Structure 1
């Protein structure tokens, strides 16, 4: 998840957008948080959906056998896979997996990338999110390694940042209150997240990120797999938040509902770009697009600091459509 290289202009724009967008979030015509938020935010229940957006019935519907070299390196360096039969224990000097290490970890990588499938399926079904998309986001963001890089501020399976924590706390009020109650007791927070003191917002953001940080020095391999499962739940909340925010941005810029402009596939591409690149990037791209009736038209208008949003969608689709 990226929000790390924005210009000062985009940062200022995001603050303005946050106020404008969040102030009226509860006027969106959405169902209860546990039911079909993204379809309702889109404004129409599609008669049919593409394969990548379809529901899954069984864990096996999500099974993948992809090669993930970063995951291979993590399994070797953590000691979860013994690389002693390979040169340099399967690792290059820069910490990446060498050819022997990649081959040695093949079966382990396949098992690891599928271990969260049951949680992904359950969390996706409870909110009517497309589970293949949820799994693809995890694949692109972290290659299923649930660790954290606090120096870069990228945490958990979805590599959530402070921006992502802001997004979910602003747009998912039930989740926001659950975090508030952990911080302040059963009464939670009387005000919406947007109107809290900056120090309180910072506290709550930190709590969200710590909840999904699976680094655990005393755990096997240095990771707590239960925290990984928790990160899946938070990711689904955040994707729902991105659906709501994206719908509001579309309406703000065009005066139209997402369903009247975009196919459901293209709406989801915009939602994922919003999750990755942020509201400022999506807002600017929509403003610059003369006729924003397709993802292709919008993607071509991402500014230089936001172009990773378009590349991100290609990487997501590559995970689902090999």
Structure 2
């Protein structure tokens, strides 16, 4: 039952639009390259990063539909990072964010290092270090909001007048697992060049020259390019060389203002963060406008009713939270609703991510745009589940990266197009890859979209914005003479062990019988920083005590000389077992 007559009229209109759109939808193109009209009031955009916020035009349902899964209830989150590679002077980088990813305001960071206090009046903050030590710090605001206390062990080394700084352990970390590769039963995306998860959101910062975004910033007066030829834009509305140069500082800030939201969506939904950011870049170049193609395409991810349908079918919890705002009777599942009521629910869900706001600066609600990133990650997750079903239906397999390409194709072109291609390709080979499947995509632009997407994703690291870049402004910490009074951080005592078993399965039963354990085999663990730990098997076993290492890191276990390697993620607690099983006699790598 519809809640009231006004809602009835609104959602009947949404229904007919939705039915027409779904019926006529065949494929999805990249966003139209239309540009906004020149705004009368021109605002100069400073090269110094600022906090970009805009008021909500109306209450958003998104935080209720997809609540944060952060383990802390603190209002702020503080982070520590070290600069990559050798530096002339050793230092640390401290940053902090409001945990909702929306609130704006000044955040300070205070702490203790070398028996002295320090204070950062803004962030990101550069803190000089001189030797290996323990640092304790906390983020805070003048209004009394605080973060958890963070404690870290830092290591400082020097060579030839150059310094290297690394974080050996830290009390705050995220153990990331890629939900899609886990469901596919393939190698984790962590093993791919773009699949790793950063413990610090700012590691997602990039400095890409995005022409469509530059044109938006100039057209809306966010960038003042009046002294450029034709105001910084050529006849087609694209930025000319002068306009692009003028816009570049603003381009950097604009494309990175969503990074904490991307990082937290990755943490909560378990989708690789670089993939989320690349999808936003490909779809909208970080400008959350709406386009009308075959369907209304909304916001940063240009999501449409088909994407909402996928979410509602795969996430009943979201449907049951949303339904009471639209219908009076929510006892039935989304899948069992009549089509007209499904269209109304889809319309309400897509409206919740619609950042169009005539009363907001530049016509967009940046707060709502940031909140929509969790929904975008959920669409990706639902698409990867669809991809698994498509391959399972034809008894086919694929490697992790190919699974991801099929998933991106499904996001862009729809499940029907990808299903037909997979079914055709599976008649040729049951182990599918992109080279085999992509020529069979009948939907226009499907192959080129994924190929372009993958070029952006695979070159992500080429555009990483690292400390020392002129577009990163680091506030210098002020050092005190005594220690600051901070709450004592709760000590974290862990018991973590990596048990490596080596045996020869002579009888093929898949388990180690007493006579099958192999002694005197060197087992090596290679850590993320390149350092190694080695032990030799006794009774076929090696036990590594990893209690002092940071949980969540990826470790490679190997048997040097026997070409045996296995990657594993260090757990937060307990024991993880790694088995090396030989099914034939061991052949030495060197002659006696």
Task: Tell me, yes or no, whether TM beats 0.5.
Answer: yes
Q: Residue 61 of structure 1 corresponds to which residue in structure 2? A: 203
Q: Residue 214 of structure 1 corresponds to which residue in structure 2? A: 355
**Residues 299 and 353, structure 2, Cα contact 8 Å, conserved in 1:** yes
Deviation of 1:307 (Å): 4.6
CA distance in 1, matches of 2:389, 2:365: 36
Q: Say whether 1:6 aligns with 2:26.
A: yes
**Residues 162 and 205, structure 1, Cα contact 8 Å, conserved in 2:** yes
Deviation of 1:5 (Å): 5.9
Q: Say whether 1:142 aligns with 2:278.
A: no
C-alpha distance after superposition, 1:73-99 (max 9, x if no partner): 111122222232223322234332233
**Residues 55 and 129, structure 1, Cα contact 8 Å, conserved in 2:** no
**Residues 202 and 260, structure 2, Cα contact 8 Å, conserved in 1:** no
Q: Residue 154 of structure 1 corresponds to which residue in structure 2? A: 297
**Residues 37 and 243, structure 1, Cα contact 8 Å, conserved in 2:** no
Of 305, 309, 314, the residue aligned with 2:446 is: 309
**Residues 212 and 231, structure 1, Cα contact 8 Å, conserved in 2:** yes
Of 244, 250, 254, the residue aligned with 1:102 is: 244
C-alpha distance after superposition, 1:229-273 (max 9, x if no partner): 122111011001101111111111x135xxxx1111111111111
TM-score normalized by the length of structure 1: 0.82
CA distance in 2, matches of 1:224, 1:70: 19
Q: Residue 295 of structure 1 corresponds to which residue in structure 2? A: 434
**Residues 189 and 195, structure 2, Cα contact 8 Å, conserved in 1:** no
Q: Residue 24 of structure 1 corresponds to which residue in structure 2? A: none
Query: 1:262/1:46 Cα in 2 relative to 1: closer, same or farther (>3 Å)?
Result: same
- Secondary structure of 2:274's partner? helix
- Give the count of matched residue pairs: 285
Of 263, 276, 282, the residue aligned with 1:121 is: 263
Q: Say whether 1:83 aligns with 2:83.
A: no
The residue correspondences of 1:222-241 to structure 2 (distance < 5 A) are 222-241=363-382
- Secondary structure of 1:51's partner? coil
Q: Residue 49 of structure 1 corresponds to which residue in structure 2? A: 191
Q: Say whether 1:197 aligns with 2:338.
A: yes
Deviation of 1:36 (Å): 5.1
CA distance in 2, matches of 1:179, 1:89: 45
CA distance in 1, matches of 2:377, 2:348: 17
Between 1 and 2, higher relative CO (CA 8 Å, sep ≥ 6) is seen in 1
CA distance in 1, matches of 2:421, 2:453: 20
- Secondary structure of 2:440's partner? coil
Report the aligned-residue RMSD: 2.2
CA distance in 2, matches of 1:47, 1:73: 35
CA distance in 2, matches of 1:229, 1:46: 27
Larger % of strand: which? Answer: 2
Of 395, 398, 418, the residue aligned with 1:255 is: 395
CA distance in 1, matches of 2:337, 2:302: 25
Of 215, 224, 234, the residue aligned with 1:73 is: 215
Deviation of 1:48 (Å): 5.4
Larger % of helix: which? Answer: 1
Q: Say whether 1:279 aligns with 2:415.
A: yes
**Residues 187 and 400, structure 2, Cα contact 8 Å, conserved in 1:** no
C-alpha distance after superposition, 1:156-199 (max 9, x if no partner): 000012211111121222222232233237x7x33332321222
Deviation of 1:124 (Å): 0.5
Query: 1:139/1:239 Cα in 2 relative to 1: closer, same or farther (>3 Å)?
Result: same
Query: 1:48/1:64 Cα in 2 relative to 1: closer, same or farther (>3 Å)?
Result: closer
The residue correspondences of 1:20-39 to structure 2 (distance < 5 A) are 37-39=179-181
Q: Which runs of 4+ in 1 moved over 3 A?
A: 34-37, 44-48
Q: Say whether 1:246 aligns with 2:387.
A: yes
**Residues 266 and 295, structure 1, Cα contact 8 Å, conserved in 2:** yes
Query: 1:47/1:279 Cα in 2 relative to 1: closer, same or farther (>3 Å)?
Result: closer
**Residues 189 and 272, structure 2, Cα contact 8 Å, conserved in 1:** no
CA distance in 2, matches of 1:150, 1:230: 22
**Residues 67 and 109, structure 1, Cα contact 8 Å, conserved in 2:** yes
C-alpha distance after superposition, 1:3-40 (max 9, x if no partner): 97628xxxxxxxxxxxxxxxxxxxxxxxxxx7854233
- Secondary structure of 2:359's partner? coil
CA distance in 1, matches of 2:321, 2:448: 34
Q: Which has the larger radius of gyration?
A: 2
Q: Residue 265 of structure 1 corresponds to which residue in structure 2? A: 401
- Secondary structure of 2:194's partner? helix
